[in-house]
Amino acid sequence: MKHCVKVPAALLSIVAVAACLGVYSGDCSQNLVQAATRQQEPEKSFPQSTESSAQLSSAEPESVYGESFAFLAWNLFLQVMAPADESLNFETWTEQCQLSPNMVGCPSAASVLLAAKAAGNGKVRMLHGSVMAGGKKLEGSECNAMVAVPIKGYPPPSNLAPNATYCEEVFVSPVEAAFVKSNLTTLVDQQTYGHERSGTINFPGTETNDPRLDLDSLEVKVDWVPATSYSNPSFACPDPNNGLYTETINGTCYALAAIHITSKVMPKWLWATFEPNNTVTNPNRCDPKLYGTCFDPWGTTSSRPYGKGEEAQQSPELHQAMAALHINPAFNNYFLTGLQTEFVDNLGRPTTLGNSFIEFNQGVPPGKSSCITCHQYAIFNGKQPLQGEPQYNFGRPPRGWPSIGYACNQNQTENCIPQSPNDTMQDFSWTLGLMPYSNTAARKPTNKHPSASKDEP
């Protein structure tokens, strides 16, 4: 396990940040990873607070690696949120429902046409529900109902309106979209591809099993919530207080309530999640009784994890970077909740990471959220799922297997995920599990989305 590292001053300068933006290059990401993982002399670890180790476990990777991975997470954030053609950069990429017309959980052709009519400006968005939420959509909507009952004793936000809803989008970088479309748009194709590579799929990035491409794979999951989901709405489009990033999408005003960013800049990917410091949309952010405290030693001035109700100030370096790149000012009120790079910390304790909006609305119990562990279970077992359903075991561990720490139900010292000769490892990607079983088994193709991403191959 690596010791704490301290990022060189040059790496943290605005020049270094700006140099890696605009064009998301493999060379740049490699340099950042090398800086993030470079071993240096051990430094004094952060002092322990009176909180339990379980409450601080979400921050443990940063205690091990230092602030450099937080810098790397913010570098990715700045790239995806940079303005591009009157949109955010990631919004010009391919949304996962554009990868295949037969993906599970995507809007119907009729819904897309209705959205096009509602938008009225030619920019149609494929807002949809989260399959990980169990398909609990509101009647007449493609989006999910927000959780309005306690989960294992933890109460829902008290300001939810009746029929509160939220919508999801998942965007993939151009290189990832090209990779998936060329080989992996059915489960059978994935099995064939993996069979030729020891049963393993590796996305473009580190440790690929094909020649390395110029770009690493990158995914951005965003959750949007309409103002009507709250009994006392306090945001508009645009938000006059810049406390929330808002957009009018398909004729409705939404606030960006949660952001997951994952990148194959590392073999096990880098997992980072962000939330606005807003008590309307994210009242339970940083609660150690939910998914853990927040910790960001580069994007804030805080050198310690902090909990619900505690304020953290944006660092001067991040503020300068956002200004230099003309990032929407509302994002100055968004904070890195935490990140993951390993399954366990340097003491062998499970690391956790969860977003108070995304994971709660997917029904994840308190203290049981780990992005890296959950996605390690992305395996296709070769069996055809029911029509219109994702692959078996989608979005959760097998019965009796852990949701945090190593993906192993026996000796918790390494991953021992169940494998059979027909299993195909999907490189942490639940997106692949949404593909139809085969082209012949897929439902009748729907109409092509009227505004495909300009980055589609």
pLDDT the model gives residue 421: 85
Give 155-175 as a DSSP string.
PPPTTBPTT-EEEEEEEE-HH
Predicted local distance difference test score (pLDDT) of residue 121: 57
The pLDDT assigned to 125 comes to: 84
Nearest to 430 by CA among 388, 397, 387, 382: 397
Between 380 and 56, the more confident residue is 380
Question: What distances in angstroms separate CA 323 from CA 237, 329, 375, one per listed residue?
Answer: 21, 8, 34
Residue 251 pLDDT grade (very low, low, confident, very high; cuts 50, 70, 90): confident
Nearest CA among 394, 397, 346, 390 for reference residue 370: 397
For 401-419, give the DSSP string: S-SSSSS-SS-TTS-----
DSSP-assigned letters across all residues of 116-138: HHHH-SS-----B--GGGTS-BP
Q: What is the pLDDT of residue 133?
A: 72
CA 396/CA 369 separation, integer angstroms: 11
Mean pLDDT, rounded, for 155-170: 95
Tokens coding 359: 């994971």
Q: Is residue 375 pLDDT above 90, yes or no?
A: yes
State percent of the chain over pLDDT 90. Answer: 61
How large is the C-alpha radius of gyration of the chain? 21
| Mean pLDDT confidence for 53-72 | 54
Q: How far apart are CA 54 and CA 381, in angstroms?
A: 33
| Calpha distance 165→10 (Å, rounded) | 44
Of 16-20, 91-95, 421-425, give the lowest mean pLDDT range. Answer: 16-20
- Return the pLDDT at 256: 98
Amino acid of residue 50: T
- Which residues have CB under 8 Å from 379's CB, separation 6+? 393, 417, 418, 419, 423, 424, 425, 426
Give the least confident one: 27-41, 106-120, 186-200: 27-41
Provide φ and ψ at 170, rounded to 5°.
-130, 115
The pLDDT of residue 5: 30
pLDDT value of position 134: 67
pLDDT at 63 over 50: no
Lowest mean pLDDT among 270-274, 280-284, 452-456: 452-456
Q: What is the pLDDT of residue 101?
A: 84
The span from the CA of 67 to the CA of 339, in Å, is 11
Q: What is the pLDDT of residue 132?
A: 85
- Which pLDDT band, with edges at 50, 70 and 90, does 87 fall under? very high
Q: Quick one: pLDDT band at residue 22, thresholds 50, 70, 90? A: very low
Residue 361 in this model has a pLDDT that exceeds 80 = yes
> Directed axis angle between helix 316-324 and helix 68-81, to 10°?
20
Query: Is pLDDT at 59 greater than 60 in this prediction?
Result: no
pLDDT class of 200 with cuts at 50, 70, 90 = very high
Phi, psi of 183 (to 5 degrees): -135, -25
* Rounded CA separation 353/357 (Å): 12
Instruction: Identify the pLDDT of residue 397.
Output: 92
pLDDT at 8 over 50: no
Mean pLDDT (the chain) is: 81
Residue labelled with tokens 């890296």: 372
Residue 140: its pLDDT value, please?
Answer: 67
Contact 224, 256 (CB under 8 A): yes
CB neighbours of 407 closer than 8 A, spacing ≥ 6?
343, 373, 376, 377, 397, 401, 415, 416, 417
Q: How far is CA 186 from CA 59, 163, 453, in A?
A: 37, 35, 21
The model carries a pTM of 0.84
How many Cα atoms within 13 Å fall on the side-chain side of residue 242?
A: 7
Of the pLDDT bands very low, low, confident and very high (cuts 50, 70, 90), residue 221 is very high
Q: Which of 225-229, 264-268, 271-275 has the lowest mean pLDDT?
A: 264-268
- Per-residue pLDDT, 181: 96
